[in-house]
Amino acid sequence: MTENNNPDRIIIFDTTLRDGEQSPGASMTLEEKLRIAEVLDELGVDVIEAGFPIASNGDFESVREVSASVRNAAVCGLARAHDTDIDRAAEAMQSAKRKRIHTFISTSPLHMKYKLQMEPEDVHAAVISSVTRARSYTDDVEWSPEDGSRSDHDFLCRCVESAIDAGATTINIPDTVGYAVPAEFGALIDMLMNRVPNIDKAVVSVHCHNDLGLAVANSLAAVSNGARQVECTINGLGERAGNAALEEIVMGLRTRKDVLPFETRIDTTQIMRASRLVSAITGFVVQPNKAIVGANAFAHESGIHQHGMLQHAQTYEIMRPEDVGLTKSKLIMGKHSGRHAFREKLKDLGIDVGDNAVEDAFRRFKDLADKKKEIFDEDIVALVDDAVIRSNDRIQVVSLKIVCGTEGPQTAELTLSVDQAERTTKANGDGPVDATFRAIRELYPHEARLQLYQVHGVTGGTDAQAEVTVRLEENGRTVNGQGADTDTLVASARAYVNALNKLVVNREKSVSALSA
């Protein structure tokens, strides 16, 4: 069980891999989920909600693999109030060191009538039977009344009391549609703390959505009124406008200890790393002015602010950039730096990848050093991410030659290696990107549709590496591919091919699952 004997400790429950992955376009492959789970574990989250095992074979597989790989955090699987859901969640988490089953059912009049088409009495009975069943598998059971913030208080209290009597150890109150405002949501938690007679036998948790931009404020109001677990996601990823952002909750608690005297187990210096990874994998760019992890969150542009900062940092800075893992962009190495220095740098950056990825990244670092005068930490992170992302790809970009400019047609001459056999073609297009993507389609015919093409510079300067995200969709399944290079078109080809690899691998996986 996730013990919380310290009354001032807030349990951080991360649902990036479950609620976060439910955002349209944010779907992740198994390998990507495992990388995120590893970083979440290093970040120090207490619970990782790894998925909804009954939802699909892919979800089941990821909860199973995350359960086997996570070392410190408890792993949680979501289940509706159905026996089959609960059994499947328990099966997926068999190898977890610590497992939690999170079962839920709607309790608001609107949801019970229109979504569930159930009478309140039947919902109440389902609360008891689902929690009882979950308890037969683990003594760490979380129960959530979906749309809790819009539920009738008497009915909510009754269901919470029964869930605790049936064995729930965490009671999570969701603001499912992001409708609550802080004073009201805080009062709801206070009401439960005062009215539910056995509430002291469970940890009270909150799960707030951000439809009105109040998810973090509502969560902190709940903490002030007795909640001791907060459910959140990296970068606030999640259904619709997202969930409460982990980094904002954690830094809010840390920075305003004077009014929020609580602690978490989070190693805040890992926040930027987790944020960058989730953004790179999902293709969801973090807005520059996003609190804590936005590119401008610690930038002081105006002369007055800069002057104040030089006199005393606290004039305009309430948190230190290094507290969230933002080291000053340092000029790190040049083209004469060797393998040893490169490995040391990776260690400094907290990057731990296999030998093949290091070798590949080192080779590309040398190439980059020939092209780019100054190499920054961000360049190294992008190189390594790129090498790791690509290490298992069956289709690889071998070479690309582009003809473009005011005189058309724009042409791409591309060589791909598919299962180690090379194929070459030349294609024209409406611009060099279109020509490149057409060439890929000629060499590896497929039906997937392009949904997103996005470019951003890893650092400043005209010689910066471009980091490209491509999102492809095929039969309702979306995947994101990434590519980085100083040549935007090479990065684009790599990103497209990376997405294609994921689709091909996924397609093969679902075929083998069907025949299993």
Which two tokens mark 415? 């060589």
| Residue 20 interacts with which of ligand KIV, Zn ion, none, CB < 5 to 8 Å by class | none
Residue 207 Cβ vs Zn ion, minimum distance, rounded to whole Å: 6
Smallest separation (angstroms) from Zn ion to the CB of 209: 6
* Length of the chain counted residue by residue: 516
| Residue 104 binding result from Zn ion, ligand KIV, none, given CB thresholds of 5 to 8 Å by partner type | ligand KIV
**Is residue 301 classed exposed, middle or buried when 0-12, 13-18 and 19+ CB atoms within 10 A define those classes?**
exposed
Comparison of 243 and 492: residue with beta carbon closer to ligand KIV = 243
- CB closer to Zn ion out of 104 and 362: 104
Q: Cα separation of 488 and 18, whole Å? A: 33
Nearest CB to Zn ion, comparing residues 238 and 429: 238
Q: Which two tokens stand for residue 328?
A: 């000053």
Residue 28, CB-side half-sphere exposure with 13 Å CA sphere: 32
440: left (phi over 0), alpha (psi -120 to 50) or beta: alpha
| Residue 489 parent element (H or E) | helix 488-515
Helix axes 339-348, 355-371, angle to 10 degrees: 110
- Considering beta carbons, is residue 112 or 400 the nearer one to ligand KIV? 112
Shortest Å distance, C-beta 244 to ligand KIV: 11
Contact between 468 and 483 (Cβ < 8 Å): yes
Q: Taking CA 166 as the corner, what is the angle to CA 165 and CA 167, rounded to the nearest 5 degrees?
A: 90
Partner that binds at residue 502, options ligand KIV, Zn ion, none, CB closer than 5 to 8 Å by kind: none
Residue with the two structure tokens 């790809």:
393
With binding defined as CB under 5 A, does residue 231 bind Zn ion?
Answer: no
Which one of ligand KIV, Zn ion, none interacts with residue 14, CB within 5 to 8 A by kind?
Answer: none
Q: Which residue has the tokens 């904002």?
A: 248
Q: Which residues on adjacent β-strands are paired with residue 396?
A: 417
Q: Which CB, 66 or 346, lies closer to ligand KIV?
A: 66
Considering CB distances under 5 to 8 angstroms, the limit depending on partner class, which of ligand KIV, Zn ion, none binds residue 146? ligand KIV
Whichever of 92 and 435 has its CB closer to ligand KIV, that residue is: 92
Q: How far is the CB of 208 from ligand KIV (least distance, A)?
A: 8
What's the min distance (Å) between Cβ of 142 and ligand KIV? Answer: 9
Instruction: Please compute, for residue 301, the number of CA atoms within 13 A of its CA located in the half-sphere on the CB side.
Output: 4
Q: Cα 161 from chain centroid?
A: 33
From ligand KIV, Zn ion, none, which one binds at residue 482 (CB under 5 to 8 Å depending on kind)? Answer: none
Cβ distance to ligand KIV smaller for residue 241 or 369: 241
Give the binding site for ligand KIV (CB under 6 A): 19, 104, 144, 146, 174, 176, 207, 209
Q: Is 140 in the site for Zn ion (CB under 5 A)?
A: no
Give the nearest distance from C-beta 175 to Zn ion in angstroms: 9
Q: What is the 3-state secondary structure (H, E, C) of 175-201?
A: ECCCCCCHHHHHHHHHHHHHHCCCHHH
* CA-to-CA dists, residue 310 to 136, 313, 320, angstroms: 60, 6, 14
Nearer to ligand KIV, 141 or 333 (CB): 141
Tell me how far, at minimum, the Cβ of 92 lies from Zn ion, in Å: 19
Task: Considering only residues 14 through 33, tell me which ones interact with Zn ion, judged by CB under 5 A.
Answer: 19
Rounded Cα distance between 367 and 179, Å, is 52
Q: Which residue is nearest to Zn ion, using beta carbons? A: 19
Kindly tell me which of 174 and 432 has the beta carbon lying closer to ligand KIV: 174
User: Which C-beta is closer to Zn ion: that of 147 or that of 485?
Assistant: 147
Instruction: Give the shortest CB-36-to-Zn ion separation in angstroms.
Output: 18
Considering the complex, what minimum distance in angstroms separates the CB of residue 103 from Zn ion? 14
Contact status: 175 vs Zn ion (CB under 5 A)? no
Q: With respect to ligand KIV, which residue has the nearer C-beta, 144 or 501?
A: 144
Nearest distance from C-beta of residue 385 to Zn ion, angstroms: 28
Q: Work out what residue 144 binds among ligand KIV, Zn ion, none; the CB cut-off runs from 5 to 8 Å by kind.
A: ligand KIV
Tokens of 233: 């996601």
To the nearest whole angstrom, how small is the minimum distance from the Cβ of residue 103 to ligand KIV?
9
Tokens of 290: 């996003």
Tell me which of Zn ion, ligand KIV, none is bound by residue 65, counting a contact when its beta carbon lies within the kind-specific cut-off of 5 to 8 angstroms: none
Angle between helical axes of 120-135 and 153-166 (0-180°, round to 10): 30
For the CB of residue 178, give the shortest distance to ligand KIV in the complex, in Å. Answer: 9
* Count of residues that bind Zn ion according to CB under 5 A: 1
Which of the listed partners (Zn ion, ligand KIV, none) does 467 bind, with a CB threshold of 5 to 8 Å by partner kind? none
Lookup: tokens for 107: 């309790």
Would you call 37 exposed, middle or buried from its count of C-beta atoms within 10 A (0-12, 13-18, 19+)? buried
354-361, Cβ contacts within 8 angstroms, sequence gap of 24 or more: 354/391, 356/391, 357/384, 357/387, 357/388, 357/391, 358/384, 358/387, 360/387, 360/390, 360/391, 361/386, 361/387
Nearer to ligand KIV, 176 or 501 (CB): 176
The residues that touch Zn ion, with contacts defined as CB under 5 A, are 19
